Amino acid sequence: MLSRLTFALMLVTPAAGWVVTTGTQERRQAAAIHTIVIDKMAFGVAPAKLHVGDTIIWVNHDLFRHTATADDRSFDVDILPGKSARTVPLRAGIVSFHCTYHPGMKGTLMIAPA
């Protein structure tokens, strides 16, 4: 009931400081963890609902060493075979990424605001 009231207040007074704070806290609690599997010289499907503050776990199931490197260099992790690495997008937008060792391996993240 209270959350419904808060939601209603957000709709009515979106600029009110306390309402925005409540909204932010709710979003932080919902920060999600997504997995992108790397296998057979390819990145797996990028998460459909990715938000700023979520965690991406890059899992290298391949026989080969790879990187997950943003074209804009906002992240760059080197991942040995059988290992994983984490990145957290801090800005909303569309970020293309690749593997530095294997330039043919590419993908795109669609990052929504938190």
Summarize as ranges the residues that interact with another protein (CB under 8 A).
40-42, 63-65, 81, 101-105
Give 28 or 61: the residue with its C-beta nearer to another protein. Answer: 61
Among the listed residues 113, 78, 114, the one whose alpha carbon sits nearest the alpha carbon of residue 93? 113
Least Å distance, CB 42 to another protein, is 7
26 to 1, 2, 7, 22, 56: CA distances (angstroms): 15, 13, 11, 6, 20
**Shortest gap between Cβ of 84 and another protein (angstroms)?**
17
Minimum gap (Å) between residue 100 Cβ and another protein: 8
| Coil/strand/helix, residue 8 | helix
